[in-house]
Amino acid sequence: MEYIIGLPVSPSKHISITPIEVTAVRLSYGGGMGGANKVYHCLKVDTSGYEPFYVLTTFLGEEIRVNPRFIVETYKRTIIKNVTNITAWRNYHKKECKSSIRTVYYEIKLTDTFKFVAGATNTKGLEGIYLIDEEKQ
């Protein structure tokens, strides 16, 4: 499947789009059908460090130690990092102008493809898994 990635808001300017190949690690914390689970998108899974724990290094740079008994599944994914300058949108009716950068991360299967279309203002079929806004004076 091919996804079309556009700008998250309008007016804004596109800066970059980068694919990152990760290993998704799903953890279960028990509790039956209503139990809690979490997915970590990792660049590296270290199984030989802090016994008896694995060390997961996420694509955002966090290190997380997990008990391997809680790992339910691992699978490969592609994370798409879309960086956009949203200064014009953020300061539309304001007198003081702050620089604003928005980074949105999307998850797709390894077999799927994507393309950036400058005229598209929404992303059909994809939901951002992480959203980071940075403001500067």
- DSSP3 helix / strand / coil % (the chain, rounded to 5): 5, 55, 35
Query: How deeply is 77 buried, as exposed, middle or buried, from its count of CB atoms within 10 A (0-12, 13-18, 19+)?
Result: middle
pLDDT at 137 over 60: no
Report the number of distinct structural domains present in the chain: 1
Domain extent at residue 113: 2-136
| Per-residue model confidence as pLDDT tens digits over 81-129 | 999 998 888 877 777 777 889 898 999 999 998 888 887 766 667 777 7
Backbone angles phi, psi at 40, to 5 degrees: -110, 135
pLDDT confidence of residue 121: 66
Note the pTM of the prediction, 2 decimals.
0.82
